[in-house]
Amino acid sequence: MAGPKFTPAQGLEAQLARMLAPAVRQIAVQVEVEAKRLAPPTKRWVTVGDDRVRPTHRKAQGQEVPGNLRFKLNSMDWDIKHRGLGPHTYMLEPLDQSSRAVANIKNCRCTAHLDPKGIARHITTGQPVITGKKVTVTVSVEAPLVVEAEVGTVYPGNLRADGTHFMARAAATVAARR
């Protein structure tokens, strides 16, 4: 004997999705909080601003990059000729010897200013989007070089910047709580 056939009420799935949306968004907000905690700082190249600042550093004034990445400066001729550098020199901070520059770091008085929330302040959680029975909430971050901040990059001369994986780690941290 066949039992009664179950027929979902019209729009039930969409109704359930709407009921779940706030809970899904709460999880996304937890990911946002973790991502903000784990995001690397940004750093900004700052010169002393007088007329003795070399042109390659004057041009770098104000350049801002995520903390795990390198500043991009124009190379100096001496470094190109004697140190085998290409047109650009990549420095973690002023006076960075790992850049292999010599002329471009000699007597440098520049500094790097850290902004701990330089990336964190750009991390946001969107509103739930309901498509049929699916609820989607997106945590996103839009900032310069943010993809490289997450996954890392390689500069000419095989200078490697490791990724910080702050978004992936945030998602994994929240998932592990559940």
Question: What is the rounded distance in angstroms from the CA atom of residue 31 to the CA atom of residue 28?
Answer: 5
Nearest to 99 by CA among 110, 78, 83: 83
Residues 6 or more apart whose Cβ sits within 8 Å of residue 123: 32, 35, 36, 39, 139, 140, 141
Decide whether 74 or 153 has the Cβ nearer to Zn ion: 74
Q: Give the x/- contact pattern for Zn ion in 12-51, rule: CB under 5 A.
A: ----------------------------------------
Question: What is the rounded distance in angstroms from the CA atom of residue 144 to the CA atom of residue 71?
Answer: 13
For residue 60, the minimal CB distance to Zn ion (Å) is 8
Decide whether 31 or 110 has the Cβ nearer to Zn ion: 110
For residue 115, the minimal CB distance to Zn ion (Å) is 19
Cβ-contact 171, 31 below 8 angstroms: yes
Torsion sign, CA atoms 131, 136, 142, 146: negative
Decide whether 57 or 70 has the Cβ nearer to Zn ion: 57
Q: Give the x/- contact pattern for Zn ion in 91-130, rule: CB under 5 A.
A: -----------------x-x--------------------
Decide whether 24 or 53 has the Cβ nearer to Zn ion: 53
For residue 74, the minimal CB distance to Zn ion (Å) is 12
Question: What is the rounded distance in angstroms from the CA atom of residue 1 to the CA atom of residue 138?
Answer: 48
Assess 60 for contact with Zn ion (CB under 5 A): no
Assess 57 for contact with Zn ion (CB under 5 A): yes
Cβ-contact 40, 67 below 8 angstroms: yes
Decide whether 35 or 108 has the Cβ nearer to Zn ion: 108
Residue 41 structure tokens? 């700082």
Which positions touch Zn ion (CB under 5 A)?
Answer: 57, 108, 110
